[in-house]
Structure formats: C-alpha cells, structure tokens
Structure 1
Amino acid sequence: MEESGVTDADRARHAQLAQELQDHRTRYYAHDAATISDAEFDLLMRELEAIEERRPELRTQDSPTQQVGGALSEDFAKVTHRERLLSLDNAFTDEELDAWGERIERDLAGQPYHFLCELKIDGLAINLTYEHGRLTRAATRGTGRVGEDITANARTIADIPEQLAGENPPALVEIRGEVYMSTEDFERFNAALVAENERRKEENVRLLAEGKRPHALEKLYSNPRNTAAGSLRMKDPQATAGRPLRMLVHGIGAREGFDIDCQSHAYELLHAWGLPTARHNKVVGSLAEVKEFIAYYGDKNRHSVEHEIDGVVVKVDEIALQGRLGATSKSPRWAIAWKYPPEEAVGKLERIEVGIGRTGRATPFAVLAEPVLIAGSMVQYATLHNQEVVKSKGVLLGDTVVLRKAGEIIPEILGPVEDLRDGSEREFVMPTHCHECGSELRPMAEGDIDLRCPNARYCPAQIRERIAYLCGRESLDVDNFGYVAAVALTQPLEPATPPLTNEGDIFDLSMDQLLPIRALVRDPKTGLPKVDETTGEQKVVSFFANLKGEPKKTAVLMLENLEAAKQSQLWRFVNGLSIRRVGPVAAQALAREFRDLDRIAAASEEELAATEGVGPGIAAAITAWFAEDWHREIIEKWRAAGVQFVEEGGEEEGPRPLEGLTVVVTGTLAAHTRDGAKEALQARGAKVTSAVSKKTDFVVVGDNPGSKYEKAMQLKLAVLDDEGFEVLLAEGADAARAAALPVVEEAP
C-alpha cells in the first residue's frame, strides 16, 4: 500500500533508521558511551538521507537528519546559546570534496577566496561566554540551540582563562572550542586506574576475610574522547579537576563590540586574549592545496599531534563570504569536514584464541564474528596482550567491543560496550596448556605476568614462528621465504618428516626436499589454518612445485636468497636467534661492541651488561641462551654451511668517523631505506635513536617526516635532507652542519 508516494518499505526503514540513530545519539551525548563506530553511524545517516531525498514527505523537523547533537543530561541546567552551534557536513572521498568545492566556486561567482584547513579534534564541543572579558558561562553543544551548563566544571580546566588577556576585552563574545584529553594523558590516566584496581583487589582479600564489603573496581575508559566528555560532565567539579583535560578554540559565535574579516585572523585575536589555539592551521588558495594538507596529516602524520584527530575541517576563510554562502538548518555551507578512515570500530567478540609466539609467549587474541573496517582495512583479529589485560579490560565472550588500529599498530580491543550486554556473555578462561605441544603454560621468571610454553626446542608453534622471524625483514630478510613457507617447511602434511626441525637446518635446504611438500595455509597474524570460503575446508597448497611437479620460480629464488643470506651482517644473525628481550637495537649494539658471535657467546654477564643499549636483563637472557647445548648446535650448523660470524673488518675495527654522535632518522629517504640509513650510520659509529631531544646531534628527514621534524626545528637542531645526509656519511659532522637546513619557526 502507498500513501503520498511513500511506500510501506520506505516508511518502515525510515522509522527503523531514525529510531536507531536517535538511540545511538542518546548514548553518545547523554551517557558518553559509543555503541557504534563513527563510520557506521555515518553510513546509517547517509541511508536515511537517501530515503528522504527520494521521499521528501518523510523529512520532518524530528528527523535525525535535521538535528544537531543529541539528548541533554538531566544533571545540568539547560542554557540557550546566543548563536546556534551547527554541525558539519562530511566528505569521505575526493569526489565529495570536489563537489563541495565546485558549489563554493559557483555560489561565489568568481569572488576571490581562501580555504582555512584545521585538524578536526576528536573531543567534546564547548561554548564559552565572556562578558567584558570575564567568563560567565560554559555550555556543551547540546542540540545546537540548547546546551548543558557546565560552567563550574569548565573553570577547573587550566586552558580556560577566567579573564581574557588585554586591556579592552569585548562586551560579549561566544568562543567555540573542543575539550579533549591528550593521547599520553589518557594512557597515563588508564594506567593509574589499573594500578588502583590492583591495590583494591589486594585489599579486598583482607576485607572479605574480615566479612567486610569489598571495594568496587574502577571502570577503565575505552578512548580519550569519551573519557574527556565524561570528565567534563561529572556532577562534582572537584572530580573534573582531577582529570587531565585540555582545550583548543576554533571559532567565534555571537559577538559585540568588535568585528573580524577572516577566520584565520580571529585565531590571532583569540591567541592574544590568552586562549589556546591550534598551531597546525593553514590558509591555502586552492582545493589542490587542501588535499595536500589532508594527505600530510593522513596515515603517516595523523599521530604526530598531541590529541586524537578524525579528519580535517575546511572552511572558507573570509567571514563576509561565509555569510554570503549561508547555512542549512543544521550545517554551514561554507565548511566541510573531511573524515579519515576510522581507527576505531565496534564488533561482536565471537571467541578468544591463544597464539604461541617465537619465545613461547602465550598471547590471547580476539576473533570477531564478522570483519570490521578500521583504518582502511578489514579486521577480524585483535590483540589482548595477556590474560591479565583481558581481566582488567572487563572483556567477556559475546561482548560488543570497541577496537582500535592506529597507524601500523596491530588492532587491539579497547573495552566492551556494556550497555549492549544481554546476559549471555561469559568469562574467558586462559588455557593451562599449549595447544600445539601440550606443555603446561607458566611464567618463566619471577614477576612475569605473561605465561609461556617452556618447550622451546620441540614446540611446533615456536619453531614455526622463530624460522619465520629469522628469515623475515628484521633479521636475514630472505625474499620469497615468508610465513607460509615457514609453515610448509616445519609442518607439512606431506612428507611426514619436515625438512626443518629447527632454524639450524635452513642453510642445508635442497630442491629435492622442497618439491614433495604439501602444507596447510596459515594466517600470518594468528597462526591458524585458513579455510576455503566456498568449501569450508582447510586450504592446502603444493607450495614449491607447479602442476607438472617442476620447481616454481619462487622456490629457485628462495634457495638463491638463502645462499646470499649467509653473508648477512652479524647483528641480523644475533637478532634472528630469537633470544628473549634481544631485538634489533640490542643486536646491533652487541655486534658493534663485540664484532664476533663467538666473543658474544664467551662474554660474561657483566661484560654484556656494560654494552650500551643492553643492560642486566638482556645480558642474563643472552647468557642463558648460550648455555643451552641445542642452541649452540644451531650456530655450528650455520658455521658448517659457510656462515661467517665475524663483522666485516674482523677484530680490527675500521674507522668510525661519526663516533659519539646521536642521530634520528624520520620520513622516507630517496636513496636509503630506513633500516639502510640506520645501518650506514651505525657502521660509522653513530648512535641512532627514535626520540628527538636536546642531546640529538642530527635529525635526518625524508618525505612526510612528521612531529620529529617539528620538534627538531623547535629545538633548533641540525636537520639534514637527503643531500645533507650523504654529506654526513661521506664528509663527517662538520661538513654536514654546514649543509643543514635553515631553522624555521614551523614545519611546513
């Protein structure tokens, strides 16, 4: 049946979407609890908008498409903003951004204009009212017209001045900004809650024994945005004062007694009044430059600023032209928000598996019922670190959970969405035994939280993971020898005896051993067998032979690359031994100091610990590793295969012209990989670190260098581009200082 051109299906779906979006908004704005990711919310909103485009009869003032913000809390008085706080339309693709830019060009009809680019802070919007320079009210965005009075709480934030600076403050001004918690402060805040919970747990044992009521445990927070929002809207201002909240301002609403010509000039005025303004804003003259700004703060530099960002806000800079462009009922036409791919998502936790790593560590990881889109990729697995993290985060099997993937970091579970629990959830129980070899899992040292499989010599999982790491990028970097090859060579279905019983066998591999191998295909992230989506059966491949039984080209190349890997640098072999706590940095330090694997093996704990970058803990692990007979057998097999464990130059150390210098390498260099640049510096005696400080001698920058370049400029350090780096390597420090880039106040 149809009425006024609206089908029953349209009406039903519209009502369903409207109610669902309203429920999510209420939880988000009134209870600071996200039960859906921003990206999923945006998709639902776009579907609702599409229905209303087809059927305008359904577009009413009550529709979520016509509203700003969400429900108001009953804990605060309601206040009306003098000027509405609008929300922004979003762009997710270049086509959508281009369409917005074309509308601006058309509506301004040749009038010259500029774009102001700002980072979009993922925080809580706030509206500050100053009268004659004194703060009289602070309110949340609320519905855009009516917000919550949070003045008492806002006064506890150090970034919000009680009195504007300057001699002639305006009679009235509404200042718009964003309250946030920095990433570092959020991590420290949650860590403090974990520590407090551990203290309470210990005390609860005593209280229960005495028949007294135990302490309730503190709830951990899932992300900085919700933590900041919840902190700002606490009933007790003193509780808010104990939270590390910050603020940045980004606009002016109602005003009396002054005028402004450009949004960017308004920021200069706000800064002069003593208000915190962002330092990353940039005025540009074209949409192409807008896209460059968006790209710069994309994947590589998204985490170079102190706060969470989820996009870039683009505004027409000229105030008069903003007025000419106007606004819809909810959004200004002169501004748009470019949204980066979401780094957080919400998914259903189906089960928790436990993987065994190359050093025996048992790591729980979450398996979602369905993959979710995070940071541009589909994700179904996420790390939970260890059994104590599962407990501290309060994650139950069957929970709807919040996942996060920032940059190149493996996705992790932030916490559960408790509002969506239905009572069917259950606790995860950590297994007591290794699922691949049956050994009992246990801590391997006093004070260890992690459980490990002690069967390092024979556990199939540990052998597979060690060999994959040995031939991987951070160790011998053998092309055509990836994770699937490591599985095939250690756990084939056929033949029954694998070619590799441990890493000592890798240099003795022959084509005759490779050709008969058929093996399961395993996921490199989890070690679990992959399943064919069509048949439901585990995937099996003949990895090294083609259909005719002849060697694949990849098999030939793998053996050739293994032969070449015998000439690898000493540190790569040291790192590839998978000694607990020894990573690339420690391996490089050991190679520089001892220059011979036999000398490392013979060194005392004291001699090892005295090596810069090693220390007592790593030294003890190295000594324990070499004490095992089967470990030494691995080295002797390699030696018999022709591996030389002496760094180039033997015991006679070559010239080290950069001895004593500390260098940081950041960005993408033209003539060197990041690892290659580090190796070249270390071979000449330089110390390569990851953090920029006053003690840094040179910062080498390539494309997209990020915050390290900015910090180097602030500290007025010697910064080298590609050409300057070559000067440093060839001619030394003095020549490089002469070739350093000029110091500027801001990074581009």
Structure 2
Amino acid sequence: MAQLTAELNRHIFSYHVQDAPTIPDAEYDRLFRELQALEAAHPEAVSVDSPTYRVGATPLPEFNQVTHSIPMLSLNNGFEDEDIENFDRRAREGLDAEQVEYAAELKFDGLAISLRYENGVFVQAATRGDGATGEDVTANIRTVRAIPLRLHGDTVPAVLEVRGEVLMYKADFAKLNARQRDAGQKEFANPRNAAAGSLRQLDSRITAQRSLRFFSYGVGALEGADMPPSHSALLDWYQTLGLPVSNERAVVTGAQGLIDYYRDIGKRRPSLAYEIDGVVYKVNSLEQQQQLGFVSRAPRFAIAHKFPAEEALTQVLDIEVQVGRTGAITPVARLAQVNVGGVNVTNATLHNEGEVRRKDIRIGDTVIVRRAGDVIPEVVSFVAERRPLDVREFVMPANCPVCGSPIVRMDDEAVARCSGGWTHCSAQKKGGLMHFVSRRALDVEGLGDQLIEQLVDKGLIHNAADLYTLDKDKLAGLDRMAAKSAQNVVDALEKSRDTTMARFIYALGIRNVGESTAKALAQHFGNLEALLHAASFEGGLQLLEVPDIGPIVARSISEFLTDADNLALVRLLSGVLRWKEGEHVMKNTGAMAGKTFVITGTLPTLSRDEAGALVEAAGGKVSGSVSKKTSYVVAGADAGSKLAKAQELGITLLDEAALLSLLATASSTEPNQDESS
C-alpha cells in the first residue's frame, strides 16, 4: 500500500504539476484500483496522503469558519505606467535605495486559498473570505490533484501555511461546459466562476469531478524552518517541497523592468493555458517588505498591475427597453453572443435615450462592447465602416411595454419613466418589492427575486404590506418551495417587523433617497408623523432644513409621500412594522460632530453597517462618496476606487484598528454634559 501510494503520487505530480505524464492513463487506473482494493481490505493502514482521498467524501451540512492565523490581504491596483512608476518611487523612497529588485508574477483569475501543512502533512484549507475569516474547504481541496497531501523531502517545516490560487484551465473549462450542456444543465460563465463554484460544493465528490489546478504565490504562518531571504527564493523552495508554482515569473529591477514584464505577459496572455487579469509586483527582499510595511491593510511592498478592460466586436440584433422599480425606462442592446473578458455577453446597457442618440447606436450595427471586472457590459461605439444600409434607428416607445401607461420625461431629467406607478405597472411593483426586502432595507432572508415574481404574477400580493399576510401554506404551493423553506420565509418576515425608522424610509424606495438620506430624515424628524407633515407642508419646504437635502431630493420625497397610493401603503406598513421613535436629533454634538467618514472595502471584524453605526454614535456622518469634504476614509480589503480617490485627495486613511482607536480616544476626551455647560 505504501509503495503504491508513493508511486501514484509521483505520477499525479508529473501529470498535474509538471504537465509531463509518465505512464498511460490505463496503467494509472489499474494501479489506482489495486490500491483501492488493498485499502478496503486494510482500512487501518490507509495513509494520510493516499490518492484515494482525491475522489471526494459524503456531503457536508455546511462550511465551518476558519480564522486565518495571519490575515490574507488584498493588493492595491495600478492601471497605467504612471501608477507603476509611482509605486517604484515610493518603494525607493521608503527604502532609501537608488534601485529596488522586484519579483514579478501573474495575477491569476481564480479563488484565493490558504493551505495548512503540519509536519509536512496537509491538514486544512480555507478560502480568503473577508481576509480575517474564511470557509473551511479542506474536503474539497483534497480532491485537487495538483495539491500535494504530503510535502516532499525529509526536512519539512513544523507548520507551513501556503497561500495561492485555485483555478481552472481553459481547456478543462470547455470540457466542463460541454458536459453541462450534454446533461441539460446551466453552463458556467467563465473559468473563475467554474473554479469558485466547484470549490464551494458541500459535496466534495462533485469537486472531484472538476479539473481544478493550483499555483502557490505566498506564505502565511511558518514554524520550524527559516524564512527564505526573498520572495523568489520562497517560490523556488516551494518547488522543492512539491508545491506547484507558475513558471511565468521573473526577477526585475526598477519601474522599467516591471513595465517590460507587464507588456511581455500581455502579448502572451492569449496563449496561456489559464485566465489572468493582470500581473503582480512584490519587492523581492522579505526584509525590505517588512521595512515598507502596510497601509490600510494592503502592503506597501506590492501592487497588482491590471490589464485594461476587455473589448469585443459584435452585432446589435435589437434594442429593447427595461422598466426599473422607479419606472425608469432603460434601452438595452440585444447582442449576438460574444465573449468579453471571459464572460459570454448577450445584453448591454445603453443607459437612456439620449445616450443612444449621442453614440448613434442603431439596430444592425457592429459595435464595440466593453466589460471591466464585474461591471455590467456597455456598448462603447459603433464601427462606421461596418454599418449596413438597412440599419434601423431606435425609437423610444410611447407606452410602457409592461403596463401600457404613457412614458414621460421631465425637462430636467435624462431618464424617461413609466407613468403607471407601482399600483399599475407590475415591473415597478416587483422592483419595489425586491428593494423592500433587500439586505440594507428590511433584510428578509430567503425572499428572493424569483419568489417575488411568482407572488406578484399569481396575485398573492399587491404591495409590501401584503407580504406580512403570507403564511406557510401559500408559500409552499409555489415553485421550488417546500414546507421548510416556506416556514423560513415566514419566520424571516416576522423577524423583519422589528426594524428602524431609517431602514423603513430606505425600504420605501423613494427616488434619490439612499441610506444616508434615510438616516438623516429619521434623525431629524424622529417619528413618521413629523416626516409626513413636513412632506405635505408647502411642497416639502421643511425638508430643506435636513442637512445635505437639496431641492431635487426634497421634491422626490414630497411627491412620493403625498401620493395617495403611496401614503396609504405607508400607513399600512406603519401598522405592521415596529421601530423606536422619538430619537429626535436636531444637532449632533458627539466627539466626531462635523467629521465625515467614508467606509469602503471589507473590514476584518466589523461589517460596514457596524462601523458606520459606531461613527454615527460618536456624532460623525457616514457618506457613500469621497470628496474634498471627507475627513477620513476607512479602508478594508478590496477597497477599490474610493481608496484611490482618497489617496489622490490626500485624505487621512484609517484601517479598522485605527478607526476604533480614534473613536475611543475622541470619546475619552469628550467633555461630559456638566463640563460642557
């Protein structure tokens, strides 16, 4: 058994890591079956690194949570050569060096994973999660043949946490989708989704049927061995341990060396066996990495150089319109299917009628479609030399395609809207209900879009208040609903009855009223009757007394709350929901009064809502956008464009620990009521 285990693992390494098979598949299968038979007869002698673990085990009820001993951090992004030159300049200044040596490698488009080995034996795997806590996917990772269950060599660390990426090769992705088609099942959009979906299966036997790969690129905890002196040496060491490492890596010097590597990889990107969305640069010396340290939970010593948004050519087959929850009519281009950035695209937004005219997009045109990351695809422009003679111009319909009500456009708005309102237009009704139960509104878990579609189409509900008349029997009769799931929805609805005035206002879906405005209204008026009075008095003039509410927002609130149908619904809901009233706050006098915070990215222990609540409790204001008036930006993992804008404007950056320290310090130095008076 030991001999067969060792031999099969050598063949697995040759095939899945080195891409150099040493025996025919049939011979491998014969040896594997022989080992299975021996293990069935002698289960007490099965080795922890037996290849039979690769076939998967019985399904898990759910994933357990794993706290990372060392956080899995994200990287700041660069897009232009100037960004990389600035990164190099900051590194040189931070190290007081004329030149810096960098390790350059690929940015894989997969799922970040941490592997833990103890005394050379694989014991646990976890997803990155929020950076501090991830999901335990040990059973599934055991099925990934590229990952060794036991490290090579006689001298291995007592503890080694390997950071890397699970991904799917393009060829394996194509085979998987072919199997999905043959089985009449939904195809995956791209290799990343396929890899992530395969790894997050509760049944590891399903994961075992998917061809997943792995590349190591970093280290977490290390005990019982000396840390290599450089990042490149770390990856070389990993190879001696039998861990897969990409060969597409280099050690370069200076900004020009980084940019040259980026351009070389960009040229060869289409020929790579897997998808990448950029490259990563790290200061090579681990001692210098420690010297540079971190900012806002991202390392100063590393940066991701992202490839530009991908574009593709396709044809506009038609232009139709969609109706949003506020009645907004959005033209949508129906496209001949095209793959853009690893995703098959058949629809792209055209935003509004004015945008269609400005770009002169016509039905039958060949157009350039762009997609960047997870952003909704958009039509960039048409290709003039490919315009056929029989193209047709888009004509905005006079009536809503859903309810037949007239479509109108106010002089001061670019967007045309269905005039039917939620009482007449089922599209608006469904959109409003989906917003009402969403996480940041009433947060009714289990009540998804498809369920709301059925409830409206079958006439079981007509407005948000009707949701609270639903019982288990009504819900259990719907598609894809059983007694248990129906009861879960009923329980979630009952739980949502206890809310806050701010959440209630936001849940109403008033145009131009986001979470911050809803909180401001709740704080200013303190109770519903005061808000309704202000909305109806002199065209909502009193609403302008609320901080940061201008004429356009005030008009939206007044129009919504003085509409007879809307007002009747508000009255119904106020009898169904419960919240604490009377917290009338005209002037904020807390320690952070006058300070504006923007919270972005994923914080280690706090949700953004929890962090915002702490700021507001201290008297500060939480905003959704960064401007010159912003006092602090609290940045977590994957902070993105808001962090970049804050750095550009020179705004003070805080991580979670710095935020808590600031609030604690401010609270301890704030005078009490007697002292201040």
Residue 685 of structure 1 pairs with residue 619 of structure 2: yes
Which moves more between the two structures, 473-482 or 724-733?
A: 724-733
Alignment coverage as a number of residue pairs: 413
Q: Shift in Å at residue 417 of structure 1?
A: 1.6
Q: Shift in Å at residue 616 of structure 1?
A: 1.3
1:317 alignment partner, one of 250, 253, 256: 253
- Number of the residue aligned with 2:471: 510
What does 1:139-538 align with in structure 2 at a 5 Å threshold?
A: 283-287=100-104, 316-317=252-253, 338=279, 340=307, 342-374=309-341, 376-443=342-409, 445-456=410-421, 457-492=423-458, 498-517=459-478
- Number of the residue aligned with 2:54: none
What does 1:717-736 align with in structure 2 at a 5 Å threshold?
A: 717-732=651-666
Which moves more between the two structures, 630-639 or 353-362?
A: 630-639
Q: Shift in Å at residue 735 of structure 1?
A: 7.2
Residues 404 and 675 of structure 1: is their aligned pair in 2 closer, same or farther, counting only changes over 3 Å?
farther
Q: Shift in Å at residue 393 of structure 1?
A: 0.8
SS in 2 for 1:349: strand
- Number of the residue aligned with 2:486: 555
CA distance in 2, matches of 1:640, 1:579: 20
CA distance in 2, matches of 1:393, 1:319: 38
Q: Shift in Å at residue 282 of structure 1?
A: 9.9
The two structures have a TM-score, normalised by structure 2, of 0.53
Residues 395 and 315 of structure 1: is their aligned pair in 2 closer, same or farther, counting only changes over 3 Å?
farther
The answer as to whether partners of 1:118 and 1:314 remain within 8 angstroms in 2 is: no
SS in 1 for 2:407: coil
Q: Any idea what the Cα deviations from partners look like across 1:300-335, whole Å, max 9, x if unmatched?
A: 9xxxxxxxxxxx99773289999xx9x99x989xxx
Q: Any idea what the Cα deviations from partners look like across 1:566-606, whole Å, max 9, x if unmatched?
A: 12222221112122222223212212211222211111422
Q: Shift in Å at residue 352 of structure 1?
A: 1.3
Residues 702 and 543 of structure 1: is their aligned pair in 2 closer, same or farther, counting only changes over 3 Å?
same
The answer as to whether partners of 1:728 and 1:735 remain within 8 angstroms in 2 is: no
- Number of the residue aligned with 2:575: 640
- Number of the residue aligned with 2:565: 630
Q: Which amino acid aligns with 2:252?
A: V
Q: Counting helix residues as a fraction of each chain, which structure ranks higher? A: 2
- Number of the residue aligned with 1:618: 553
Q: Any idea what the Cα deviations from partners look like across 1:74-115, whole Å, max 9, x if unmatched?
A: xxxxxxxxxxxxxxxxxxxxxxxxxxxxxxxxxxxxxxxxxx
The two structures have a TM-score, normalised by structure 1, of 0.49
CA distance in 2, matches of 1:601, 1:435: 33
Residue 596 of structure 1 pairs with residue 527 of structure 2: yes
CA distance in 1, matches of 2:620, 2:450: 37
What does 1:67-106 align with in structure 2 at a 5 Å threshold?
A: none
Q: Any idea what the Cα deviations from partners look like across 1:521-554, whole Å, max 9, x if unmatched?
A: xxxxxxxxxxxxxxxxxxxxx1323xxxxx1x33
CA distance in 1, matches of 2:369, 2:518: 33
Q: Any idea what the Cα deviations from partners look like across 1:364-399, whole Å, max 9, x if unmatched?
A: 11121214333x433322111122211111111122
Residues 401 and 713 of structure 1: is their aligned pair in 2 closer, same or farther, counting only changes over 3 Å?
closer
Q: Shift in Å at residue 464 of structure 1?
A: 0.8
The answer as to whether partners of 1:264 and 1:317 remain within 8 angstroms in 2 is: no
Q: Any idea what the Cα deviations from partners look like across 1:12-66, whole Å, max 9, x if unmatched?
A: xxxxxxxxxxxxxxxxxxxxxxxxxxxxxxxxxxxxxxxxxxxxxxxxxxxxxxx
Q: Shift in Å at residue 499 of structure 1?
A: 1.4
Q: Which amino acid aligns with 2:598?
A: V
Segments of 5+ residues of structure 1 without an aligned counterpart are 1-116, 122-177, 179-246, 251-262, 272-280, 301-311, 493-497, 518-541, 546-550, 737-748
CA distance in 1, matches of 2:519, 2:352: 29
Segments of 5+ residues of structure 2 without an aligned counterpart are 1-75, 113-129, 131-247, 273-277, 280-305, 671-677
- Number of the residue aligned with 2:173: none
Q: Shift in Å at residue 673 of structure 1?
A: 2.1
Which structure has the higher relative contact order (CA within 8 Å, separation 6+)?
A: 2
SS in 2 for 1:699: strand
SS in 1 for 2:597: strand
CA distance in 2, matches of 1:407, 1:733: 41
- Number of the residue aligned with 1:698: 632
The answer as to whether partners of 1:476 and 1:568 remain within 8 angstroms in 2 is: yes
CA distance in 2, matches of 1:569, 1:512: 29
Residues 544 and 284 of structure 1: is their aligned pair in 2 closer, same or farther, counting only changes over 3 Å?
farther
- Number of the residue aligned with 1:676: 610
Residues 360 and 713 of structure 1: is their aligned pair in 2 closer, same or farther, counting only changes over 3 Å?
closer
CA distance in 2, matches of 1:698, 1:397: 47
CA distance in 2, matches of 1:562, 1:393: 45
Q: Shift in Å at residue 118 of structure 1?
A: 10
Residues 450 and 715 of structure 1: is their aligned pair in 2 closer, same or farther, counting only changes over 3 Å?
closer
Larger Rg: 1
The answer as to whether partners of 2:361 and 2:382 remain within 8 angstroms in 1 is: yes
The answer as to whether partners of 1:402 and 1:414 remain within 8 angstroms in 2 is: yes
CA distance in 2, matches of 1:118, 1:565: 39
Residues 409 and 599 of structure 1: is their aligned pair in 2 closer, same or farther, counting only changes over 3 Å?
farther
SS in 1 for 2:567: helix
The answer as to whether partners of 1:354 and 1:362 remain within 8 angstroms in 2 is: yes
Residues 612 and 714 of structure 1: is their aligned pair in 2 closer, same or farther, counting only changes over 3 Å?
same
Q: Which amino acid aligns with 1:597?
A: L
Q: Shift in Å at residue 285 of structure 1?
A: 4.4
The answer as to whether partners of 1:359 and 1:462 remain within 8 angstroms in 2 is: yes
Q: Which amino acid aligns with 1:503?
A: A
SS in 2 for 1:621: helix
The answer as to whether partners of 2:364 and 2:388 remain within 8 angstroms in 1 is: no
The answer as to whether partners of 2:524 and 2:586 remain within 8 angstroms in 1 is: no
SS in 1 for 2:418: coil
CA distance in 2, matches of 1:686, 1:701: 17
- Number of the residue aligned with 1:163: none
Question: Once the two structures are aligned, what percentage of the paired residues are identical?
Answer: 30
SS in 2 for 1:732: helix
CA distance in 2, matches of 1:389, 1:608: 33
Q: Shift in Å at residue 465 of structure 1?
A: 0.8
- Number of the residue aligned with 2:209: none
Q: Shift in Å at residue 669 of structure 1?
A: 0.3
Residues 623 and 640 of structure 1: is their aligned pair in 2 closer, same or farther, counting only changes over 3 Å?
same
CA distance in 2, matches of 1:590, 1:410: 32
Q: Which amino acid aligns with 2:633?
A: V
What does 1:3-82 align with in structure 2 at a 5 Å threshold?
A: none
Residue 564 of structure 1 pairs with residue 495 of structure 2: yes
- Number of the residue aligned with 2:516: 585
- Number of the residue aligned with 2:596: 662
Q: Which amino acid aligns with 2:563?
A: E
